[in-house]
Amino acid sequence: MNKTIGIFGGGQLGRMMAQAALPLNIQCTFYEADTDCPSAALGQVISSQTEQGLQQFIQSADVFSLEFENTPLADVDLLTQSKAIHPPRQALATAQNRLMEKALFDQLQIPVAPYQAVDSLASLQQAVKTLGLPLVLKTATGGYDGKGQFVLRSEDQIEQAWAELGPAKSLIAESFVTFSREVSIIAVRGQDGEVKTWPLAENHHHHGILSHSIVPAPNSADLQPVAQDYITRLLNHLNYVGVLTLELFVTEQGLFANEMAPRVHNSGHWSIEGAVCSQFENHIRAVAGLPLGSTEVVRPTVMINIIGQYPKSEQVLALNGAHLHLYNKTERAGRKIGHITLMPNDSTQLTTLCRQLAKILPVPLALSEDMTI
């Protein structure tokens, strides 16, 4: 197949999509402000900073996709006058607005924490009375990796929370969910409506940024079919094509949806080595109209993000069962610049690998030595 896929964004997700596309003889182009981006080595990068950039990008490919959910809807609307984009606009618009997202979850009977729209100091005070404390105040649009959020624990923080987030005007207040852990489910839907899901990932965060994921999530046999049902409802309702991610809280009352991401996802990076067909390849297959590949697990896997500073490659590669992925990004505090996939034979080997990695990573992560797979 000779086809070109245009991707809004040229970060590491676009890079890994393009890496998966090449063996299928599919080329990728990228629409990105920084032409020296992680994807630059994999295909033509068209600057989003020029007047003609968007039209050049539209002409550069046969079909389109994206690597980040904040892709401007105006650009998508212009594109769809002549070309197709997967996932669909509705999924993108919904994921860009937390209020719309929660409304969709309600419509499809996917459980969420109680929430309320906030657009003034008075409405925030009312939300505190209605929802109780603690609660999480978030911007309705924008925000990622813990940004655009305020955990409100006492009434004397109300004015501070409004001062920090109020200028965004459109906010959402959510009851604080008491959860035992966070998991995510990733699924792919083809153009023929076929749906395939990967096993649940158990996700761990460090300073609001995903530090590592364990797949399959331990003790998740009862959760897997429920999560699959929820994400399948979303995929079919949206007439979705491509990979979709649903982040979930595990609570005593069952699974509560946190948010969805209409794209390949950090918690699915394990699938490059750990699944028969990765999230990246299956996304490319779906966008190109090809049959979907198997989402079966090759071996239980742990994915660890490299954040801020690079480790010495030779030290990581010397570890038995470790796979290194670097994104060609400059070092910066809090920035995801690569990941390591561990494929241990058992929990004992995993413990050993985690101890070894703890000595190698320049920026220590909260890796537990008693992780199980």
Q: 145 labelled as ligand-binding?
A: yes
**The residue to which tokens 């509705």 are assigned:** 90
**Was 240 annotated as part of a binding site?**
no
Q: For the packed helices 158-165 and 121-131, what is the interaxial angle rounded to 10 degrees?
A: 130
Q: Is 180 annotated as a binding residue?
A: no
**Residue 144 is assigned to a ligand binding site:** yes
The CA distance from 58 to 53, in Å, is: 9
Contact assessment for residue 237 and residue 276, using Cβ atoms and an 8 Å cutoff: no
CB 14 within 8 A of CB 38: yes
Centroid of chain to Cα 116? 24
Query: Is 298 annotated for ligand binding?
Result: no
The reply, when asked if residue 233 is annotated as ligand binding, is: no
Task: Judge whether 102 is annotated as a binding position.
Answer: no
Residue 189 assigned ligand-binding role: no
Whether residue 224 is annotated as binding a ligand: the answer is no
Q: Is 312 annotated as a binding residue?
A: no
E strand or H helix that includes residue 223: helix 223-237
15 marked among binding-site residues: no
Residue 259 assigned to a binding site: yes
- H helices of 238-338, in order, are 271-274, 279-288, 313-317
Q: Which residue has the tokens 């999509």?
A: 17
205 is in an annotated binding site: yes
106 marked ligand binding residue: no
Q: Phi and psi dihedrals of 108, rounded to 5? A: -95, 10
Is 359 labelled a binding residue?
no
Question: Could you identify the residue written with the tokens 């650009």?
Answer: 75
Q: ∠ at Cα 297 (292, 299), nearest 5°? A: 150
177 annotated as a binding-site residue: yes
Residue 237's closest CA among 280, 199, 268, 193? 193
* Closest alpha carbon to 319 in 337, 332, 302: 302
Task: Select from 83, 111, 117 the least CA-distant residue to 98.
Answer: 117
- 176 annotated binding-site participant: yes
CB atoms within 10 A of CB 177: 16
Report yes or no: 49 and 33 within 8 Å, Cβ to Cβ. yes
In the annotated binding site, the residues are 98, 138, 143-149, 174-177, 182, 205, 258-259
Query: Which residues carry a binding-site annotation for ATP?
Result: 98, 138, 143-149, 174-177, 182, 205, 258-259
